Amino acid sequence: MKKFQLGEFEEIVMLTVAILYDDAYGVSIKKEIENRLNRSVSVGALQSALKRLEDKDYLESLDKDATQERAGRPKRYYKITALGKEAMQYTKETRNSLWEAIPSVSLDVKFATL
């Protein structure tokens, strides 16, 4: 059943938007992901993920802070919707349930030498 569909990168983006709260806009999201995960993020991949999350109604955006240094262009800020919060909670519970179901012996793997 596909109650909520969040890919791995989408989940990271959602969590980062939550972390940044009122300061979640494209550049700040990109920097936060790169700093926290030591992972390179392309602007295109991030913009695609943000668009998908808006299309799913998990995020909403608002343009504000148009400045002269940005040639009058506003920053687009993102926030999590109520449906987005449900998707995040569902994803967290699903992951926790899977982790709890792993027998301890399953993660105690020793590799034989060849």
Q: What CATH number is given to the structural domain containing 43?
A: 1.10.10.10
In a domain, 59, yes or no: yes
Number of domains forming the structure of the chain: 1
Q: Measured between alpha carbons, how far is 22 from 37 in angstroms, rounded to an integer?
A: 21
In a domain, 89, yes or no: yes
pLDDT in tens, the chain (114 residues): 467 889 999 999 999 999 999 999 999 999 999 999 999 999 999 999 999 999 999 999 999 877 767 677 889 999 999 999 999 999 999 999 999 999 888 878 776 665
Domain of 83, in residue numbers: 8-96
Q: What is the pLDDT of residue 51?
A: 97
In a domain, 15, yes or no: yes
At residue 33, φ and ψ (nearest 5 deg) are -65, -45
For 24-81, where are the alpha helices, taking DSSP H only?
Answer: 26-37, 43-55
Pick from 18, 38, 15, 42: which is nearest to 30 by CA?
A: 42
Burial 47-57 (b: 16+ CB within 10 A, else e): eebbebbeebe
Q: What is the pTM of this model?
A: 0.85
Q: What one-character DSSP code corresponds to residue 105?
A: G
pLDDT in tens, 58-89: 999 999 877 767 677 889 999 999 999 999 99
Helix (H/G/I), strand (E/B), else coil: 6: coil
